[in-house]
Amino acid sequence: MLAPDLNESALGCLIDEQGALRLGLRHVRGVRKEQLEELIEERSANGPFASLSDLTARAGGARSSLEALAWAGACDRLGDASAGTGTGAGVDTDAEGQQQRPGLARRAVLWQLGIGAPAPASKAQLSLGFDLPAAPALDPLTAWQTMLADYAATGLTTGSHPLELMRPDLDRRGALPSAALEQAPHRSRVRVGGLVVARQRPSTASGVCFVLLEDEQGTINLVLKPQVYERFRLTVRTEPLVFAEGILERHASAGGTVNLLVDRIEALEPGDAQLAEIGELICGDFRAVAPAVMSFAEGRRR
Looking at 158, 180, 198, the residue that finishes a domain is 158
22 & 135 share domain: yes
Lowest mean pLDDT among 124-133, 254-263, 269-278: 124-133
Which residue has better confidence, 245 or 81? 245
Which residue has better confidence, 279 or 216? 216
Q: Which residues are CB-contacts of 174 (< 8 A; sequence separation ≥ 6)?
A: 191
In this prediction, residue 280 carries a pLDDT of 46
168 & 260 share domain: yes
Indicate whether 3 belongs to any domain: no
137 & 235 share domain: no
Q: List b or e across 139-151, with b for residues whose CB sees 16 or more CB atoms inside 10 angstroms.
A: ebbbbbbbbbbbb
177 & 243 share domain: yes
Mean predicted confidence (pLDDT) in 106-130: 62
Indicate whether 289 belongs to any domain: yes
69 & 131 share domain: yes
Looking at 158, 190, 211, the residue that finishes a domain is 158
Closest CA to 242 of 191, 171, 182: 191
Mean predicted confidence (pLDDT) in 114-120: 56
User: Is the Cβ–Cβ distance between 109 and 78 less than 8 Å?
Assistant: yes
In this prediction, residue 256 carries a pLDDT of 78
Lowest mean pLDDT among 128-132, 140-144, 198-202: 128-132
Lowest mean pLDDT among 72-76, 105-109, 167-171, 211-215: 105-109
- Show the domain range for 35: 14-158
Lowest mean pLDDT among 10-19, 85-94, 192-201, 218-227: 85-94
Q: Which residues are CB-contacts of 274 (< 8 A; sequence separation ≥ 6)?
A: 144, 165, 166, 169
Indicate whether 109 belongs to any domain: yes
Looking at 97, 132, 158, the residue that finishes a domain is 158
Q: How far is CA 137 from CA 108, 140, 143, 299, in A?
A: 8, 9, 18, 46
172 & 234 share domain: yes
Closest CA to 132 of 192, 243, 18, 56: 56
Domain count, the chain: 2
pLDDT score of 301 more than 60: no
In this prediction, residue 72 carries a pLDDT of 92
Lowest mean pLDDT among 5-9, 192-196, 204-208, 298-302: 298-302
Determine the residue type at 12: G
Mean predicted confidence (pLDDT) in 108-116: 76
pTM for the whole thing? 0.81
Mean predicted confidence (pLDDT) in 3-32: 94
153 & 177 share domain: no
82 & 202 share domain: no
151 & 29 share domain: yes
In this prediction, residue 288 carries a pLDDT of 87
In this prediction, residue 82 carries a pLDDT of 54
